[in-house]
Amino acid sequence: MIEYSEIESQRFKKNIHRASLDRVDLKGIKKDILENETDVLILRIPSGSIEEHHKLNNMGFDVLHADTLVYYETDLRKIEPGKTRNDISFQEVGADNLDILEKIVPIIFKDYSNHYFSNPLFDPDDIRDGYVEWASSYAGVDSNRIAWIAYIESEVAGFLTCSYDEKDSESEGVLYGVLPGFAGRGVYSDFIRFSERYFKDKGYSKMRVSTQIQNYAVQKVWGREGFFLKESYETYHVNACLSYSLEHLPTRKVSFSKEDVEKFGHLSGDLNPLHFNDDFARKYGFDSSICHGMLTNTYFSKILGTEYPGNGTLYLDEHSIFFKPVYPDVEYEVETSLLEKRDNGLTKILFKVKKDNQVILLSYNALIS
């Protein structure tokens, strides 16, 4: 089920949705993206369902493979957590020491990468701020979340956050972080052992942890502490960019006459009767003859080359997704969104062709201006 992500949408100032799917329904996903004017859809799919992953090649939208997420699990009833190696203590996080947590999280995760960093639409500073927000959400504000700050010889060494489900007797180590000055001293292992012991003593039967596949060091620790690889998921970002623009750009009206279609057909050599014969087009399910897809794109070329960005603009790339046909002698609205504008002149623009508020065509354009 695809759901709106309020936290991520507010953080990145984009319309972001999320879904974990066992099966990829392309038609349903596209419908949801269009109806919700989604900017980024974050999809997680089990790694083993290879045939489902291949379907994303036919998405039409820009799809990024953002990461591989692995989950490890242990049966707390069958293990005996080891003793901590350091003289370490743990203080539960609440309102009185939340400021300490907020201070150390950016230091610990300064160079850490996750799936957000794979997407150029996300600002790295916003991603790092997200870690603070994420960790802070575990600080004594929810009955199924908990966070601790770790101390070694009265110095802050790091933090850990966990969640738990009393009904299913399951717990999860969500986020562990060790300050650089304490790295290499077995502190991370102490965090794992402490959280295992904490939930085992409370009668929980299972505990799980997760990370990106490239974080080999922590996975070695988990293996030593009784965890085993349980499952993995591939994370994809579908960048549709349907609801935001860096600048407010005008909406235009466009229509193509049958004479335009005829001229383009002879100019291009595409004399397919779908574009000239109403009866022939109806046999294929259309209301009448339809415009050439490339004819519509010539209108975008006119805007880009003479209006915005204007004279001197050079095309680098264009990608169009047609959802419905464009008919001659019908007026359509063309919405323009500026998706990216770099100092080196690289500009990305999206054209949305609509009729009665329904998306007919999306055209993604990369330019040098």
Pair (107, 63) in one structural domain = no
> At which of 208, 226, 244 does a domain end?
226
CA distance 262 to 268: 10
What's residue 140's pLDDT? Answer: 74
Asked if 264 and 300 sit in the same domain, the reply is: yes
Whole-angstrom distance, CA of residue 34 vs CA of residue 359: 7
**Is residue 335 a part of any domain in this protein?**
yes
> Could you give the number of structural domains in the chain?
3
Same domain membership, residue 116 and residue 18: no
CA 26 to CA 19: how far, in whole Å? 13
Task: Assess if residue 238 is contained within a domain.
Answer: no
Domain that holds residue 99: 74-226
Helical axes 216-224 vs 187-201, angle rounded to 10°? 50
The CATH number of whichever domain residue 339 belongs to comes to: 3.10.129.10
Query: Does the residue 56 lie in any domain?
Result: yes
- Check: CB of residue 301 under 8 Å from CB of residue 318: no
Shared-domain flag, residues 279 and 354: yes
Report which of 332, 366, 335, 326 is spatially closest to residue 239, judged by C-alpha positions: 366
Mean pLDDT by 10 residues, the chain (369 residues): 94 96 94 96 94 90 96 97 95 94 94 91 92 89 88 96 93 96 95 98 97 95 97 97 94 96 95 96 96 94 92 92 96 96 92 96 94
Residues 38 and 54 in one domain: yes
Tokens found for residue 349: 């623009």
What pLDDT is attached to residue 44? 97
Nearest residue to 33 (alpha-carbon basis) of 11, 20, 17, 12: 17
- Is residue 24 located within the same domain as residue 7? yes
Residue (of 131, 121, 179) closest to 155 by Cα position: 179
Residues 103 and 218 in one domain: yes
